[in-house]
C-alpha cells in the first residue's frame, strides 16, 4: 500500500457492553440509579453506569485501510463523541496516516490555550490516536509492538481485578475459582470490601495462601493519615500494592504516603499525559505506574512508561471497561516495555465480550497472549458491528 495514503473519514460509535451486574458488583446500601442510569458508589463518591458502554472510533483512508480505536463511553459519552465528530474530524481528514505522532501533537495543541489537557478531551484524542497507530501498523504490515521498539514479551502476566460479589465469603470463593484456573495475582476494590480493607486482606490471604499477590484499589477514598494507618494494619497479610489511596489532586499527600509508609503505592489510571506522571514521579510519590490506554492513547502511554522506566519504576497497566480494542492496544504497547511486570485483567468484562473482536488475544492460566495481527491485532467482529450505534 502506498505511504502517500490519506485519511478520508472519521466515525465514532457507541457500543453496548451491558451486563446483569454493574461494574465492581451490585448496588449496596443506599446506592440507587438516577434517571439517566448513573449511580454513585458511597465509598468513593464516584459515578458509575448501570449499563456499561464504550466509544469506538473508525478512521478510514483513501486506500481502504481502516483503523480502530476506543475510549470510555460510560458517562456522558456524547461529550467525548462531540469532540471527535465536531472538532477532530475536520483536522484529521486529508492528513497522511503515517504521521501518527505529528497528528496527535497537532490535535493536543488545538485547545492548549483553554487548558483542555485531560478529561473528555484527551479521552477523545486517545481513541483517535489508537486508530491511527492501528492504520500505521496495517500499512507497514507490522504489529504495533514492533513499531514501538520490538516485542519483549508475547506473554504478559495478568492479574484478576475486582471481585464483584456482595459478601466477603463469595468474594473469596470467586478468587479461589480463578486461582484454580492458573491465576495467582489479585486486586480487590475497596468500595465492595464490606468488612473493611484489613479484613478483606486477611480473608483473601487465608483463602489464597501465602504465594498469592493481593492488592487493593482504594478508589481515592481515604485521607493520607487514614491510608498510612491502613497500610500498617494490613502488613501481616503481605499486601502487593495500594492503588489510588487519596484524591488525585493531593500530590503532596501522595508523596507523604509513599515516603512514610511501607506499602507500595500504585497510581496513574486517571492520568492522560506524561505531565501528569511527571508531577508525581519527580517527587517520588509512587512506586508503581498504571497508565490506562483508554485515557492516554498509545503515544502518551509510551511517554508515561518511558518516564517511569527512567526513574526505575515498574509499570502495571490499568484496563477497565471496553470491547477489547483499547485492551489490544494496551497489550501491544506493554509487550514492548522493559518495566512492565503485569497487566490488569477485567475477568468480569473481557471474557464476556471477547467475541466482539477478531484475532487470538486471550488471557488464560495467569497470562495474556499478545494478539498477533498487524496494527493493534484485532478488529470488530460482525456481532460487535451489529451492536454499534453511529453518533
C-alpha torsion angle, residues 175, 176, 178, 184 (rounded to 10):
90
Contact 261, 239 (CB under 8 A): no
Contact 347, 178 (CB under 8 A): yes
Contact 315, 281 (CB under 8 A): no
Predicted pLDDT at 45 = 80
Given CATH 3.30.390.10, say whether it is the number of domain 7-145: yes
Distance (Å, whole) CA 232 – CA 262? 7
Please write the tens of the pLDDT for every residue from 317-328.
999 889 999 999
What average pLDDT score do residues 328-338 get? Answer: 97
Distance (Å, whole) CA 39 – CA 188? 20
Among 40-54, 85-99, 110-124, 202-216, the minimum mean pLDDT is found in 40-54
Predicted pLDDT at 21 = 67
Long-range contacts of 98-102 (CB under 8 A, 24+ apart): 98/3, 98/5, 98/136, 98/139, 100/129, 100/132, 100/133, 100/136, 100/299, 101/299
Distance (Å, whole) CA 134 – CA 141? 10
Distance (Å, whole) CA 213 – CA 132? 36
Please write the tens of the pLDDT for every residue from 256-268.
999 999 999 999 9
Exposure of 362 by Cβ count < 10 A (0-12 exposed, 13-18 middle, 19+ buried)?
middle
User: Is the pLDDT reported for residue 1 higher than 50?
Assistant: no
Q: Write the DSSP symbol of residue 354.
A: G
What average pLDDT score do residues 166-179 get? Answer: 95
Share of the chain above pLDDT 90, in %: 82
Return the higher-pLDDT residue of 43 and 167: 167
Residue ranges of the chain assigned to CATH 3.20.20.120: 149-373
Radius of gyration of the chain from Cα atoms? 20
Contact 314, 136 (CB under 8 A): no
Residue in the block written with cell 509487550? 335
Predicted pLDDT at 242 = 98
Distance (Å, whole) CA 92 – CA 104? 10
* SS3 at position 345: strand
Residue ranges of the chain assigned to CATH 3.30.390.10: 7-145
User: Is the pLDDT reported for residue 25 higher than 70?
Assistant: no
Contact 294, 124 (CB under 8 A): no
Please write the tens of the pLDDT for every residue from 136-159.
999 999 999 999 999 999 899 999
Q: Which residues does residue 60 pair with via DSSP β-bridges, in sequence order?
A: 9, 66
Predicted pLDDT at 381 = 96
Number of alpha carbons in the 13 Å side-chain half-sphere of residue 53: 20
CATH class of 149-373: alpha beta
Predicted pLDDT at 238 = 98
Please write the tens of the pLDDT for every residue from 205-225.
999 999 999 999 999 999 999
Distance (Å, whole) CA 389 – CA 391? 6
User: Quick one: which of 311, 369, 371, 362 has its CA closest to 338?
Assistant: 311
Amino acid at each position: 500500500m502506498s505511504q502517500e495514503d490519506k485519511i478520508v473519514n472519521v466515525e465514532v460509535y457507541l457500543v453496548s457492553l451491558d451486563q446483569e451486574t454493574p461494574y465492581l458488583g451490585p448496588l449496596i446500601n443506599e446506592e440507587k440509579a438516577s434517571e439517566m442510569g448513573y449511580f454513585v458508589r458511597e465509598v468513593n463518591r464516584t459515578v458509575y453506569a448501570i449499563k456499561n458502554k464504550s466509544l469506538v472510533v473508525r478512521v478510514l483512508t483513501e486506500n481502504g485501510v481502516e483503523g480502530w480505536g476506543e475510549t470510555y463511553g460510560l458517562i456522558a459519552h456524547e461529550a467525548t463523541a462531540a469532540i471527535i465528530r465536531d472538532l477532530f474530524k475536520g483536522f484529521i481528514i486529508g492528513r497522511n496516516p503515517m504521521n501518527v505522532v505529528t497528528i496527535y501533537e497537532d490535535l493536543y495543541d488545538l485547545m492548549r490555550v483553554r487548558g483542555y489537557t485531560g478529561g473528555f478531551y484527551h479521552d477523545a484524542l486517545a481513541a483517535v490516536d489508537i486508530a491511527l497507530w492501528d492504520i500505521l501498523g496495517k500499512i507497514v504490515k507490522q504489529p504495533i509492538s514492533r513499531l514501538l521498539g520490538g516485542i519483549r514479551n508475547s506473554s504478559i502476566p495478568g492479574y484478576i481485578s475486582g471481585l464483584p460479589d456482595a459478601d466477603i465469603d463469595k468474594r473469596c470463593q470467586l478468587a479461589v475459582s480463578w486461582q484454580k484456573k492458573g491465576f495467582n495475582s489479585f486486586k480487590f476494590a475497596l468500595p465492595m470490601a464490606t468488612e473493611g480493607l484489613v479484613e478483606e486482606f486477611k480473608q483473601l490471604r487465608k483463602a489464597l495462601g501465602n504465594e498469592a499477590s493481593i492488592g487493593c484499589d482504594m478508589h481515592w477514598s481515604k485521607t493520607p493519615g487514614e491510608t498510612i494507618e491502613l497500610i500498617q494494619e494490613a502488613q501481616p497479610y503481605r499486601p502487593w500494592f495500594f492503588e489510588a489511596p487519596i484524591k488525585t489532586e493531593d500530590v503532596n499527600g501522595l508523596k507523604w504516603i509513599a515516603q512514610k509508609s511501607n506499602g507500595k503505592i500504585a497510581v496513574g489510571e486517571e492520568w492522560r499525559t506524561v505531565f501528569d506522571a511527571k508531577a508525581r514521579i519527580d517527587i517520588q510519590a509512587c512506586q508503581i505506574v498504571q497508565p490506562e490506554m483508554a485515557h492516554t492513547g498509545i503515544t502518551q502511554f509510551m511517554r508515561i512508561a518511558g518516564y517511569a522506566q527512567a526513574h526505575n519504576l515498574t509499570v502495571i497497566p490499568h484496563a477497565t471497561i471496553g470491547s477489547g480494542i483499547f485492551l489490544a492496544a494496551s497489550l501491544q504497547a506493554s509487550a514492548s516495555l522493559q518495566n512492565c511486570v503485569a497487566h490488569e485483567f477485567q475477568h468480569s468484562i473481557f471474557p464476556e465480550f471477547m467475541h466482539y473482536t477478531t484475532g487470538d488475544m486471550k488471557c488464560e492460566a495467569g497470562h495474556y497472549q499478545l494478539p498477533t495481527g498487524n496494527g493493534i491485532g484485532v478488529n470488530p467482529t460482525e456481532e460487535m458491528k451489529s451492536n454499534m450505534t453511529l453518533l
